[in-house]
Amino acid sequence: MVGDGVPDLLVGFHGATFLMEVKSLESNAHRAKGDVPYAEYLTDDQVTFLSTWRGCPVRIVTTADEALAVIGVSIQLVRSALAPRGEAT
């Protein structure tokens, strides 16, 4: 187990590394209001990690669609790739 504020998702895709913290959709309501996104939902360890991490930007996502968009993939592409042959998505 990683823990200690390390983001939930560490993704390697096409030679690039992406770090993502997953937050609930309830957290997403604050983003729509223009508040500082998710700040109150981060643990002290997460705040420390985010303030000291010097690698790729850590993205905060609330859905699979958002996580896929971070790496440049659409959910439609994934569904199409996973669909049994001959079935439309």
Q: Which residues contact 28 (CB under 8 A, 6 or more apart)?
A: 62
pLDDT in tens, 6-33: 999 999 999 999 999 998 866 555 554 4
Q: Which residues contact 39 (CB under 8 A, 6 or more apart)?
A: none
> 86 lies in a domain?
no
Written as six digits, the tokens of 87 are 């079935």
> 1 lies in a domain?
no
pTM above 0.85, yes or no: no
> 82 lies in a domain?
no
> 81 lies in a domain?
no
Task: Give residue 26's pLDDT.
Answer: 67
Q: Count structural domains, the chain.
A: 1
> 78 lies in a domain?
no
pLDDT in tens, 35-61: 545 677 788 899 889 889 999 999 988
Q: How many residues can be counted in the chain? A: 89
Q: What is the DSSP string of the chain?
A: ---TT--SEEEEETTEEEEEEE--HHHHHHHHTTSPTTGGGS-HHHHHHHHH--SSPEEEESSHHHHHHHTT--HHHHHHHHSPTT---
Task: Give residue 27's pLDDT.
Answer: 53
